[in-house]
Amino acid sequence: MTFTDAIGTCFKKYVNVDGCASRSEFWWWVLFTVIVSLVCRQVSYGLSGAFSLVTLLPSITVGVRRLHDTNRSGWWELLYLLPVIGWIILIVFWIEPSQSSRYATST
């Protein structure tokens, strides 16, 4: 998946937690949000906050779909609430290669 395809897909599926997200889709999205957030912060903290709010839901759903792609429940994303250790565990899960997933849909 290309950079622009990943961003478009994440915005289109911003409330859809069904199915899976490939590694490339997930990491292109992360790169997009980090870069745009840094640029927005240079312009204005208010703009950076607005961008963070706009991308919060798509970021959560792409993370859930990525976990589905590794054959895990999206509930694992709650580890994000556990500082440092939870973040490390989630990063390891998100880095893993795709599995044949029970969460995959026909679309």
Condensed to tens digits (0 to 9), the pLDDT of residues 2-48 reads 999 999 999 999 999 999 999 999 999 999 999 999 999 999 999 99
Domain that holds residue 30: 3-95
Confirm whether 43 is domain-assigned: yes
Confirm whether 29 is domain-assigned: yes
Condensed to tens digits (0 to 9), the pLDDT of residues 48-75 reads 999 999 999 999 999 999 999 999 999 9
- The whole-model pTM stands at 0.89
Confirm whether 51 is domain-assigned: yes
**Three-state SS letters, the chain:** CCHHHHHHHHHHCCCCCCCCCCHHHHHHHHHHHHHHHHHHHHHCHHHHHHHHHHHHHHHHHHHHHHHHHCCCCHHHHHHHHCCCHHHHHHHHHHHCCCCCCCCCCCC
How much is the pLDDT for 46?
A: 95
Confirm whether 60 is domain-assigned: yes
